[in-house]
Structure 1
Amino acid sequence: MAGILQNLLQFNLIPCAQSFHALVVSYPCVLYDGTWGTVCDDGWDLSEAAVVCREIGCGDAIEVKSSAYFGEGSGQIWMDNVNCSGNESALSKCEYHELELNDCNHSEDAGVICQSVMRLVEGFDDCSGRVEVLHNGKWGTVCDYKWDGSDGAVVCKEMGCGNIKVLTYGAYFGATSGQIWMGNVNCNGEEASLSTCAIQGWGTHNCFFAEHAGVICGLPVRLVNGNSFCSGRVEVLHDGQWGTVSDDGWNLTDAAVVCRELGCGDVITAKGGAYFGQGSGPVWMNSVDCVGKESSLIQCNIAHWQHNNLDHLHDAGVICSGLPEKKACKKM
């Protein structure tokens, strides 16, 4: 049983738009031992659904679905009689019947409909814009008074958008005359959601019209020229410019950090020799040495940034296992 419990840490969920169920590839599904499978609807209720929505960064659970509402899955049914308190950080941490030991078929696949409680509006992309939060069924803005990097970091993390790059104030992303829900926001940066940060009180603030908090977020790592979001040439953002990573010393440990940072599951292969084509611009990183626990590739050990004596014939790449659609539920 100890081996099973260790492997449970490898569960992943994949969201699709704003409606979800445990169906392979297109919808949230459970990954165990390299195989995707579904969740049985026995005992499935809002507590379990809330954990799913929170784990995939899609806000609150507003409706539970059962009886293969989103269509029948295929393959394994990994979880049955799931019992969550509702506070777990992942579905795999809830109680459930042992893997494969269930009396279900795919006509009983579980599902959920989530609703995000935060959105970024009028930005350049899904990861920038005016911050708006949903409270009492109504969307409203966040007062920019004392808006700082810790607050912005929580927003970017909650939206699945990586690190905070720029804080914005006033009407940078346009003005709206609606409700101002949050004022004097005071996050420590470790919160999973902006709604759990300290505030004056819902609807209490020191702002006037067009004093809106906003963010521009961005992951400092991307995969380019692959056949999916989760494969390609590794590129890092440094000093405002994208550049590549040399394959000198590039291994599975380094590649695993990239896959995890991008929400792409486990590493399958670490590639070298410009497998995904030659990049352009600077070769930012060489002789990368990760221990494997870093949250971002840029936290791994390197000698220094930029290597002018290297060419792009040795650009590093990676193929990861995941097929994420992490931002699908963020589009409003």
Structure 2
Amino acid sequence: GGKSSAGRVEIYVNGQWGTVCDDGWDISQATVVCRHLGFQRATAALAYAAFGEGTGPIQSDHTNCIGNETDFLQCQFQSEGFCGHFEDASVVCYNPEKGSEERSIRLAGGNETAGRVEIYLNGEWGTVCDDAWDINDANVVCNQLGFAGALDYRDSAAFGEGTGEIHLDDVGCNGEL
């Protein structure tokens, strides 16, 4: 229901794919799922079928992970409960060690969660002009970086002026994640 780094959590148990209920779902469980998939950590543990309702059985209810497991099936869970697919759990994973060029977008002048937006285009890093920049544009950037969305946005070189070309101007995203 999502993409390689974000989506509805589904597990294969007893020969059948099914979903995970969001009862008790938190960042610890989501981090274990992300680690299981090869990412460094989770940036969000989402509830209420954030990436759409799944099908098949609900394989896990009231999942309890310590947080250091490497395999989601090492966590404790109840296989029976009172959960509908409208409660399917989802995750957003993040792995900063995957090369920035692979993602073609990065944050500079700040930290891993805030900074100047830079994109890799035609073999070089450049900036994005703040003309018409708004929360919808910031949401798309944050989603591409593996976050659930933007909390806020800044303009006027709030994280310092970049170097190189200005690759984009008058960005107009609709904000859909």
**Which category describes the TM-score, using the shorter chain as reference length?**
0.5 to 0.7
- When structure 1 is superposed on structure 2, of 209-218 and 185-194 the one drifting more is 209-218
Of structures 1 and 2, the larger Rg is shown by 1
Name 1:103's counterpart in structure 2: none
Identity %: 30
Gaps of 5+ in 1: 1-121, 245-275, 282-305, 314-332
Work out whether residues 64 and 75 of structure 2, in 8 Å CA contact, stay in contact via their aligned partners in 1: yes
Work out whether residues 11 and 59 of structure 2, in 8 Å CA contact, stay in contact via their aligned partners in 1: yes
- Superposed CA deviations along residues 231-280 of structure 1, whole A, max 9, x for unmatched, are x9994442276459xxxxxxxxxxxxxxxxxxxxxxxxxxxxxxx62332
Q: Distance in 2 between matches of 1:182 and 1:241?
A: 40
Work out whether residues 118 and 125 of structure 2, in 8 Å CA contact, stay in contact via their aligned partners in 1: no
Q: Cα distance, 1:224 vs. partner?
A: 4.4
Gaps of 5+ in 2: 129-157, 165-177
Work out whether residues 140 and 179 of structure 1, in 8 Å CA contact, stay in contact via their aligned partners in 2: yes
Q: Distance in 1 between matches of 2:98 and 2:26?
A: 26
Name 2:125's counterpart in structure 1: 278
Comparing both structures, which one devotes a greater share of its residues to strand?
2
Distance 1:176 1:235, change over 3 A: closer
- Superposed CA deviations along residues 94-114 of structure 1, whole A, max 9, x for unmatched, are xxxxxxxxxxxxxxxxxxxxx
Name 2:114's counterpart in structure 1: 239
Distance 1:142 1:196, change over 3 A: same
Secondary structure of the structure 2 residue equivalent to 1:185? strand
Say which structure, 1 or 2, has more relative contact order (CA 8 Å, 6+ apart): 2
Q: Distance in 2 between matches of 1:166 and 1:241?
A: 22
Distance 1:127 1:233, change over 3 A: closer
Work out whether residues 177 and 210 of structure 1, in 8 Å CA contact, stay in contact via their aligned partners in 2: no
The count of residues paired between Structure 1 and Structure 2 equals 129
TM-score, structure 2 as length reference: 0.60
Q: Distance in 1 between matches of 2:125 and 2:9?
A: 38
TM-score, structure 1 as length reference: 0.34
Name the aligned partner's letter for residue 139 of structure 1.
Answer: W
Q: Cα distance, 1:150 vs. partner?
A: 0.3
Distance 1:145 1:234, change over 3 A: closer
